[in-house]
Amino acid sequence: MCLSVPTKVIEVFVNDQQARVDYLGARFIVGVALLECVQPGQYVLVHAGEAIQILDEEKALDGLALWKEMLGEA
Amino acid sequence: MERIVLSHGDGGQLTQDLIQDVFQTLLQDHVLQEQDDAAILPADSRYLAVSTDSFIIQPIEFPGGNIGKLAVAGTVNDLAVSGSKPTYLTAGFILEEGLEISVLKRIVRSMAQTALQAGVRIIAGDTKVVERGNCGGMLINTAGIGFLEEPGRIHARNIQPGDRVVINGGIAEHAVAILAERAGLELSSSLCSDCRPLNILIEQLMERYRSIRFMRDPTRGGVATTLKEIASSTGFNIVLEEERIPIKPEVQGALEMMGMDPMYLANEGKVLLIVSEEESPHLVNYLRSIQDNEMAAEIGIVQKGSGRLLLRTAIGGTRELGMLTGAPLPRIC
Amino acid sequence: MNLLAYRDRDVFKQLFQQIEPDLIRIREKVGRKLRFMEVCGTHSVAFSKSGVRDLMSPYVELISGPGCPVCVTDQSDIDQMIAFASLQDVIVATFGDMMKVPGSHSNLEREKSNGADVRIVKSAYQAIDIAKQHPSRKLVFLGVGFETTAPGVALSLKKAREDKLKNYYVYSAHKLTPPALDTLLMDSTHQLDGFVLPGHVSVIIGRKGWVHLEQLNVPAVIGGFDAIDLLIAIGILAKQLEQTKRSVLNLYPRVVQEEGNLTAQRILAECFTNSPTKWRGFGVLDQSGLLIHSDYADYDAASRVITDKPVSKEIRGCRCGEIVKGKEAPIDCKLFAKVCTPTNPLGPCMVSSEGTCSTYYQYERVHDTVLLR
């Protein structure tokens, strides 16, 4: 129900609330009205033609950190 | 006259003019010129391979090709993978009232080029016209004749456990080229349909590698459907390695965004070869040295089993690939 | 940023080696395979496609939950969608997933082959474009999907109003995920050890949308969808079984925030209202559906596009409600593999090719598994 793809923002069209995004070299135009402010160079998660969140690069590895923590408890 | 009208299909002067101006001029074949009811041709050997296919693709022109190029290459490839030398082709056209004649010419010219590239002759044809709204511009049927000296050299019964599955390049490129416009995908200039005739290549491969058991071109239904059919009919299992299956990153990216599975999508310039374990690496290396086949790879192995097609994923798990049930639909779920 | 980092095969193998001893041990302790539910249909597909389902199968049984919009769209909704399609002046626009979902007598794919104007779109905006191209016909967009999809559909309602469209309608069969899970958990005899919560729904509703589960102290994690995400989710759920106090852990922090996407939540509240809704296999669940808000009543197909009231046929005997709680297995259902099959599915567990019954059907005769390791 939520097939979504992380993509890189190439260009933003502020007036149309749309952006050109790239995933592995394939490019699409998607809507960005669900996000406050999107900049080229950022990464956004896209579902059914809409960007639904900006990827947090700093948090990207947190999942693995939690894993190490939990396994350490054994 | 700029567009096809219903009278072009009447069999009268308008039909004759169309045949001369478009088909005879662009296809340039002396047997075709004679416009006999049947073409009389010499046979190159005792055994014929015969194949027919109808082409209904939409849109009729797409990045990397058009319905005409596809109609020639498609039938040529079907003949080639059966181990024959494609020699003659027929072409039947159903044209839609309102089709621009300039578009028709472009497509027929492309057929002439593809036929020349493949070394085949288009020696018989037919044209009909249907009312506007009935066929998306045009439909084409091609039938082909190929000759072969060793019937049975290429056959599924030759397949044995231990044999390898080889493909000559990246998958699903044709499908992406077709879907791109509908899906709003902006294709880079390097991505287009892989539509091309493979008979010259296949002839070379057959000469060099005697252990090629069987071949098929994975068109409609994709690599998965084609291999599943082979597995089912032979009763062997075929096990594929996901990481070895070649696919261009852009194609993978596009299909993931569209929620579609590349294993079930059409290829029009690819051949699956089943070959012995010993010759497989040599076959792959040879393919990689030929332009447009640089991504060739060994992707799987034939094993004793029960007709199943299995895929070992990148992380080492296994899943089964089944028959396609209906057309692949884009998912959001 | 490496978008494929969570698919790295070598990192996966390393992590699997770390967790496998724990999985073996915990399975021993519990005395049976661990039963985890993946709530979301996309997770079901991801577990299968990646091969993680297969890799985990000696230790973990994965049960597909009610979070699959394809699966849980009720027959009565499909029958209504088909009724729209049968109107001459209507174009129906839908996501591809819906084409084969069974109604009482037919499905959208069959109706299309019978001449109904049904078009597959990849977004609600695409449906708006079609509406603009055909101003003399009505366009009914089938709003199916959970909290991940509904905001995009809400945006289309706003756009329709902004562009003063007179022929755009939405039939909302949108549903909310937490109520389904809550209802399931209310049955204290459910046989589930833990839950992989839907990662992309959580992008919208935030971890806060699930934090109430901590009161029940069930192991629950918000999981991502790549192979490493899936492995981490299962591994940590297993570890949580050995803990006394469990929190809802966000294992997908690269896109799931505590608060979620507030803009999307605001737009949902503007365009939809929560209501009781009928789910295939589970009956009516409170506060679980999204009806179009009265402010957007002009675009509500349910009230503005009149059809004959379709007559829905009840499917008796469907045990999806119990299967999804782990209380029954597919073979316990009298319809399984006899009347209800992948080519003729009746309940959600079989409708999706990744539902519990469908997976069981495909793999159950297949576990004389070819060992390739």
Please give the structure tokens belonging to residue B7. 């009278």
Res B226: pLDDT? 97
- Tell me the pTM: 0.91
Chain C residues within 8 A of B314 when measuring between CB atoms: 7, 9, 12, 50-51, 227
B/e letters for C191-226, b = 16+ CB within 10 Å, e = fewer, are: ebbbbbbbbbbbbbbbbebbeebeeeebbbbbbbbb
Place of tokens 């459910």: C190
Q: How many domains does chain C have?
A: 2
Q: Is A26 on the interface with C (CB under 8 A)?
A: no
Res C71: pLDDT? 77
SS3 C135: coil
Q: Is B314 on the interface with A (CB under 8 A)?
A: no
Mean pLDDT of C323-341: 87
Under DSSP, the state recorded for B84 is -
- How far apart are the CA of B320 and the nearest CA of chain A, in angstroms? 21
Looking only at the bridges linking them, the beta strands covering C34-40 and C194-197 are: parallel
Please give the structure tokens belonging to residue B60. 């009729």
Task: Inspect the interface and report whether the beta carbons of B315 and C369 lie closer than 8 Å.
Answer: no
**Pair C281, C330 in one domain:** no
Could you tell me if residue C300 is inside a domain?
yes
Could you tell me if residue C155 is inside a domain?
yes
Mean pLDDT of C224-234: 95
Q: Is C58 on the interface with B (CB under 8 A)?
A: no
- Whether cis (ω within 30° of 0) applies to the bond prior to C310 is no
CA distance B279 to B284: 9
Task: Inspect the interface and report whether the beta carbons of C203 and A52 lie closer than 8 Å.
Answer: yes
CA distance C17 to C238: 15
C143 φ, ψ to 5°? -85, 100
* CATH number of the domain enclosing A59: 2.30.30.140
Angstrom distances, CA of residue C298 to CA of B139, C86, C171? 43, 21, 12
Q: Which of A45, A39, A49, A46 is nearest to A59 (CA)?
A: A45
Res C373: pLDDT? 24
Could you tell me if residue C341 is inside a domain?
yes
Task: Inspect the interface and report whether the beta carbons of B257 and A25 lie closer than 8 Å.
Answer: no
pLDDT tens figures, C251-298: 999 999 999 999 999 999 999 999 999 988 788 898 999 999 999 999
- Partner residue opposite A23 with nearest CB, options B257, B259, B332: B257
CA distance B63 to C283: 49
pLDDT tens figures, C341-352: 888 888 878 887
* B331 → chain A, closest CA residue: A3
* CATH number of the domain enclosing C104: 3.40.50.11740
- H-type alpha helices, B82-216: 101-118, 173-183, 199-208
Could you tell me if residue C28 is inside a domain?
no
pLDDT tens figures, C31-75: 999 999 998 888 988 998 999 999 999 999 998 888 778 778 888
Could you tell me if residue C290 is inside a domain?
yes
Q: Is C368 a residue whose pLDDT tops 50? A: no
Judge whether B170 and B222 are in contact, CB under 8 Å: no
Could you tell me if residue C15 is inside a domain?
no
- Partner residue opposite A23 with nearest CB, options B248, B253, B259: B253
Chain C residues within 8 A of A73 when measuring between CB atoms: 239
Q: How many domains does chain A have?
A: 1
**Pair C347, C293 in one domain:** no
Q: Is C25 a residue whose pLDDT tops 90? A: yes
Chain C residues within 8 A of A70 when measuring between CB atoms: 235-236, 239
Looking only at the bridges linking them, the beta strands covering B237-241 and B297-303 are: antiparallel
Angstrom distances, CA of residue B82 to CA of B199, B213, B214, B308, C197? 10, 10, 8, 23, 51
Q: Give the domain extent around C265.
A: 71-176+260-304
Instruction: Tell which C residues from 21 to 80 touch A, by Cβ distance under 8 Å.
Output: 22, 40-42, 45, 67-70
Could you tell me if residue C295 is inside a domain?
yes
Q: Is C247 a residue whose pLDDT tops 60? A: yes
Res C366: pLDDT? 47
- How far apart are the CA of B207 and the nearest CA of chain A, in angstroms? 38
Q: Is C371 a residue whose pLDDT tops 70? A: no
Q: Is C204 on the interface with A (CB under 8 A)?
A: yes
Q: Is B254 on the interface with A (CB under 8 A)?
A: yes
- How far apart are the CA of A6 and the nearest CA of chain C, in angstroms? 7
B/e letters for B90-117, b = 16+ CB within 10 Å, e = fewer, are: bbbbbbbbebebebbeebbbbbbebbeb
CA distance C335 to C319: 8
Res C363: pLDDT? 65
The tens place of each residue's pLDDT in chain B, 333 residues long, gives 899 999 999 989 999 999 999 999 999 998 888 888 889 998 888 899 999 999 999 999 999 999 999 999 999 999 999 999 999 999 999 999 999 999 999 999 999 999 999 999 999 999 999 999 888 999 999 999 999 989 999 999 999 999 999 999 999 999 999 988 778 888 787 789 999 999 999 999 999 999 999 999 999 999 999 999 999 999 999 999 999 999 999 999 999 988 889 999 999 999 999 999 999 999 999 999 999 999 999 999 999 999 999 999 999 999 899 887 666 777 776
**Pair C328, C288 in one domain:** no
Q: Is A10 on the interface with C (CB under 8 A)?
A: no
Grade residue C364 by pLDDT with cuts at 50, 70 and 90.
Answer: low
- Partner residue opposite C372 with nearest CB, options B318, B329, B333: B318
Under DSSP, the state recorded for C330 is G
Please give the structure tokens belonging to residue A39. 């900049």
Domains and CATH numbers, chain B: 6-148 (3.30.1330.10), 156-321 (3.90.650.10)
* C174 → chain A, closest CA residue: A1
Could you tell me if residue C77 is inside a domain?
yes
Q: Give the domain extent around A47.
A: 5-72
Grade residue A60 by pLDDT with cuts at 50, 70 and 90.
Answer: confident
Q: Is C133 a residue whose pLDDT tops 50? A: yes
pLDDT tens figures, A6-23: 999 999 999 989 999 999
